[in-house]
Every structure is written in structure tokens, then in C-alpha cells.
Amino acid sequence: MTQSAGKSRKVASREEWLEARKDLLVKEKQLTRQSDALAIERRHLPWVKVDKQYVFDTPKGKKTLSDLFDGRSQLIVYHFMFGPEWKEGCHGCSMISDHIGGSTQHLANRDVTLLAVSRAPLSKIDEFKKRMDWRFRWVSSFGSDFNRDYHVSFSEEDLAKGDVEYNFTKQTSWRRDEAPGASVFYKNEKGEVFHTYSTYGRGNEQFMGVYRYLDLVPKGRDEDGLPNPSAWVKHHDRYEQDYYADAKAEQQTKVAGGR
Amino acid sequence: MTQSTMERPKVVSREEWLAARKALLEKEKQLTRQNDALAAERRNLPHVKVEKEYVFDTPKGKKTLADLFEGRSQLILYHFMFGPEWNEGCPSCSILGDHIDGNVQHLANRDVTLLAVSRAPIAKIEEFKKRLGWRFKWASSFGNDFNRDFHVSFTKQEVAQKEMYYNFKRQFFPSEEGPGLSVFYKNENGEVFHTYSTYGRGGESMMGVYSYLDIAPKGRNEEGLPHPMMWVRHHDRYEQDYYADGANEADNTDQVVKAAGAWCCGGAAD
């Protein structure tokens, strides 16, 4: 994206601004309609029956993929990058997850169960989740094929050979053993489970309000000078400006970031 | 939105699905690029100098619009529908509110201060914010022209006559308060400029809920409802009190749903 940070902006009258803003609004509305149309196309995708049995470690013991629906018919799994040997979950995935808590309750009441899955052992997940003060469900696929089958974990051999299938493409320069994404499943009345959709890469951006907000401000995402676009992202407890600490001192309100 | 293949799902092989999915991916990527291009256009909008002095009530006393930046150069205000006479904030704005806390810290470190503004008196705001367990800052524009000047509050007369100026045109919005987002910039001289405002569906992408529903088989599933967001409740008012780690996991089905008073688009509160 072309950056515009620091570029001097034209100062206009209210009328002039309004004219420019209305022109832009037409395009924004068009994009909203296109997004609606794509959502429909997405729902017209065929489904693939999941025949393999996947078992996950959860705080309540072993659970199958079918169990994870928790009585609902739709399941969205966020593939959170947290490898078995990692000390903590990925920064970018953590930023997405800072948004998950606000969604789970509303989605649950729309017949959607939303949770995260990582390959890290459950004890590591629980510890990190506690540190980040999150409440959403997060299960471990440690030792199962789940991550591999849904193309978000890669073996050392794959990485060494440059033979990684990610985001529906063969990637030759992917270096990490984990990758981010979201997968959607449906369970019918007979209890059969189907894979309906997966998205990867920038497909995850839609779940991060942060980028939506940055796309509205004068400086934009302001990522041009960085080694990689998300180099600025930190775990929310690792920023220099602990903005919430002030708020806590002020109000002594309960932490709600983990909802 | 037209409903899905839910009734007659086509079950196919992995290969067939992959072909369909890849075709869709091209369109999704195109949409992402278009979104990037629009963001660039947005940044090229001219700025309008804010000459009027607005004073807000905050938990730390009176603050001007310039104060609300809190040392940063960019300010985003969410116009949260909560009228002076309402008993609680709007449920749909509260969905957006449920997502604000996850953003604040990241945005603060990108030179953006994000907070909410409503016309309700600060005492009502504080009480409601506590009820919903939110931490983001929320200022009151009670008694000032701010909401009116940025076209998110309407007079009783306008509501009665069913015509007001909202989302850049004259139309009927069935409430004394409307939702929106406004963006401001402060330069080194301390001058404040209004750069952008969005209303109506412009706030939708700040609600992760819709992004998730848009990838689920049933979609938003709002077609049979009197108005699209009819299903929305405050997060402490749903029948299913579902939180992730099971703190309240037992049967909550018997929990009484309290009727939510103030629908965003379905009429004023009370």
C-alpha cells in the first residue's frame, strides 16, 4: 500500500470535503455490496465430508472434532500459530485473538462455535492464555494430523525442500513450522461433519478490527519502512505504551480484553 | 442476502472443493486489493479544520476535543448510540463495543487513540460500561453540539417528521441517536482537523462477528427478521451465556432474557 504518513494534506472547506467524501462513499458502498456477494458465493461452495477422526486435548479431556461443535451446527476454528516447541504464541495471532473474546458470545447465539487450535501441548496453551487474559476456548492438536491436513503446520523436511502447501499455493520461501488460518465446519443432524471453508494469509485480516481502524486514519497502516508489515505488532502486554495500565489506575475496572 | 446451499449441500471430493475454493480465492484477493486502494483514497481526502471548541465530560473532568488525543496525533471516535434519556446503550453498538478493548492497546502504539462518545450523561455511561465489563475510554458530549455537528443525534421533531440528515443524505433514521465513526488529526501546532466520518454499514467491519458469520455456512441468517440486527443482545442478555473457558458452562438455558430496549435501527429506547 502506498503510504501517506507525514504527507501534507490539503485543508478544505466543509463543502469541498463533503463533495470528496460523497464520491468516496459511492465506492465504499460498492465494496460493501461486493463483499456481500462474495459471502454468498462462499456459502455456495461444495462441502467435503470429514472421514478422519481427529482427537484434541482440551481442559475437559480428549474431544473429537465433532465434540468441539458444543451442540451447535457450525464450527469456526482459528489456526493459532503456536508450535510444540515454542515458548509463546505468535504476535499476529495474538492480535487476532485479542478480538475473539468480543465475538464468541454473539456467535454462540447464532449457532456458531468459535475456538482456537494449536499444536502446542495444552499446558503451554493454558499458561499463555492465562498470561494474555483470554477466555475463549483453545484446544491442542498435539500429536494429531489436524494441522497438517488443514495446511497450517509443516514438517522440517517440507521446509527444507521448500515444499509447503499454504494458502492453496506451493510456497517455496515459507520458513516457519506453523501458519495462520481459519477453517469452517458443519455438522448435520446425523452427526456427520463437513469441511466447508478455509482461509489463510491476508484472509485473516478481516478478523482484526485493528486494520479496519488503521484503514480509516490519516497515517494508514504506516508499515512501509518495516522489515515486514506486521513487525510493529507486539503481544498486548509487551508494548512500550501500556495504555491500559493508565485506565486501570483510573477506573479499577475489571479486565475485559479476554471476553 | 440470498440464503445458502444449506438446504441442499453438494458434497464433493477434496479435489473438486479445491478447484471451487481456488476460484473464489481469486475474487477474495481482488476484494482485498480494492479495499487497500480505497484506504489509500481515504487518506487522500482533504482535511477540514475544526474551529469550534467542544468540551466533553470524562471521568477525569472536562476535556476538549484536542485533549482527547492524549498525546497522539490521530483520534477515532465511535459515536455510540446512548441518548440522554436512555437507560442503557444500544445493543448493536454494544457488539461493536465488545470488540473495542482488543484494539485500543495496539492502536495506541500506532499513534491512534480510540474511544467512544455518547450524549448520555457521564454517570450513565460509567454505570453501563461497568455492567458490560469494558475498559475503553468513553466520554460524554452531553450538552454540547458535537453529536449534532457530526450528524449522529437528531431532534424529537426530526424523528416525528421522519426526516433527518444521516450518512450524507436526508433520510429517516428511527432513533434520536445514530451510529458512526469520526476521525480527527492534530498537527504539531495543536490544530485539530476532521478527516473522515462513516455511518450505517461503515461500522460493520469493526465487528468481527460479521466477518465470522460471513464465512459460516448459514451466513448472517437475518432474512426473516423485522430488521437485520434484531437478533443482537447485550452480551450479558443472551439466552446462552457462553464463554469460552466454561466459567458459566453449566445449563444457562433457564436464564431469563431481559428485553433489550434500544435497538439501533428499530426505534428509540424507552
**pLDDT value at position B241?**
61
**pLDDT value at position B4?**
53
In whole angstroms, give the CA distance from residue A230 to residue A214.
Answer: 13
- DSSP secondary structure of B174-214: SSSB--EEEEEEE-TT--EEEEEEEEGGGGGGG-HHHHHHT
In whole angstroms, give the CA distance from residue B140 to residue B117.
Answer: 6
Paired residues of B193 in beta bridges: B49, B185
**pLDDT value at position B260?**
29
* Cα-Cα end-to-end distance for chain B: 31
In chain B, residues with a C-beta closer than 8 Å to the C-beta of A234 are 109
- DSSP secondary structure of A121-148: -HHHHHHHHHHHT--S-EEE-TTSSHHH
Interface of B with A in 132-151 (CB under 8 A): 132-137
Interface of A with B in 106-145 (CB under 8 A): 106-112, 114-115, 129, 134-138
Q: Which residue has the higher pLDDT, B118 or A6?
A: B118
Interface check A43 vs B, CB under 8 A: yes
In a domain, B176, yes or no: yes
Interface check A226 vs B, CB under 8 A: no
Q: Is A28:B198 a contact under the CB 8 Å cutoff?
A: yes
What is the nearest CA distance from A86 to chain B, expressed in angstroms? 23
Nearest to A199 by CA among A168, A170, A172, A169: A168
| Cβ-defined contact of B215 to A42 (cutoff 8 Å) | yes
Q: Among all residues of chain A, which has the CA nearest to that of B113?
A: A243
Q: Which residues contact A100 (CB under 8 A, 6 or more apart)?
A: A78, A114, A116, A134, A136, A207, B102, B208
Interface check B108 vs A, CB under 8 A: yes
CATH of the domain at B139: 3.40.30.10
Interface check A215 vs B, CB under 8 A: yes
pLDDT over 90, % of chain A: 77
**pLDDT value at position A25?**
97
Residue spans of the domains in chain A: they are 48-207
pLDDT at A63 over 90: yes
In chain B, residues with a C-beta closer than 8 Å to the C-beta of A43 are 3-6, 217-219
In whole angstroms, give the CA distance from residue B264 to residue B177.
Answer: 8
Paired residues of A174 in beta bridges: none
Best mutation target, A210, A236, A238, to test chain B (most B CBs within 10 A):
A210
**pLDDT value at position B258?**
27
In chain B, residues with a C-beta closer than 8 Å to the C-beta of A186 are 9, 217
In a domain, B110, yes or no: yes
Q: Among all residues of chain A, which has the CA nearest to that of B33?
A: A1
In whole angstroms, give the CA distance from residue A227 to residue A233.
Answer: 12
* Cα-Cα end-to-end distance for chain A: 32
In a domain, B216, yes or no: no
- Helix, strand, coil abundance in chain B, percent, nearest 5: 35, 20, 50
Q: Provide the number of structural domains found in chain B.
A: 1
In whole angstroms, give the CA distance from residue A75 to residue B2.
Answer: 21
Q: What domain range is B189 assigned to?
A: 48-206
In whole angstroms, give the CA distance from residue A74 to residue A72.
Answer: 6
**pLDDT value at position B250?**
35
| Cβ-defined contact of B242 to A104 (cutoff 8 Å) | yes
Interface of B with A in 149-208 (CB under 8 A): 167-168, 181, 183, 185, 193-198, 201-202, 204-208
In whole angstroms, give the CA distance from residue B40 to residue B94.
Answer: 29
Interface check B74 vs A, CB under 8 A: yes
Task: Report phi then psi at B215, rounded to 5.
Answer: -110, 0
pLDDT at B254 over 70: no
C-alpha cell at A64: 473429537
In chain A, residues with a C-beta closer than 8 Å to the C-beta of B28 are 38, 199, 203
Burial of residue A218, with CB atoms counted within 10 A of its CB: 0-12 exposed, 13-18 middle, 19 or more buried: buried
| Residue bearing cell 475503553 | B136
**pLDDT value at position A250?**
41
Angle between helix A91-108 and A122-132 (nearest 10): 80
**pLDDT value at position A244?**
56
Residues A84, A88, A92, A97, CA torsion sign: positive
| Cβ-defined contact of B214 to A182 (cutoff 8 Å) | no
A153 three-class SS: strand
In a domain, B66, yes or no: yes
* Helix residue spans in A48-176 (DSSP H): 91-108, 122-132, 146-149, 156-161
In chain A, residues with a C-beta closer than 8 Å to the C-beta of B246 are 59-60, 137
| Cβ-defined contact of B45 to A21 (cutoff 8 Å) | yes
C-alpha cell at A56: 484434541
Q: Is A86:A79 a contact under the CB 8 Å cutoff?
A: no
Radius of gyration of chain A (CA): 21
pLDDT at A28 over 80: yes
For residue A211, is it left (φ>0), alpha (ψ between -120 and 50) or beta? alpha
Q: Looking at the partner chain, which of A24, A136, A206 has a beta carbon nearest the beta carbon of B244?
A: A136
pTM, rounded to two decimals? 0.89
Q: How confident is the model at residue A123 (pLDDT cuts 50, 70, 90)?
A: very high
What is the nearest CA distance from B203 to chain A, expressed in angstroms? 9
| Cβ-defined contact of A35 to B238 (cutoff 8 Å) | no
Domain A48-207 has CATH 3.40.720.10: no
| Cβ-defined contact of B103 to A4 (cutoff 8 Å) | no
In a domain, B243, yes or no: no
What is the nearest CA distance from B220 to chain A, expressed in angstroms? 8
In a domain, B218, yes or no: no
| Cβ-defined contact of B216 to A74 (cutoff 8 Å) | yes
ipTM of the complex: 0.88
**pLDDT value at position A240?**
74
In whole angstroms, give the CA distance from residue B221 to residue B2.
Answer: 9
| Cβ-defined contact of A39 to B1 (cutoff 8 Å) | yes
Per residue in B172-230, pLDDT tens?
999 999 999 999 999 999 999 999 999 999 999 898 899 999 999 999 988 888 888 88
pLDDT at B118 over 50: yes
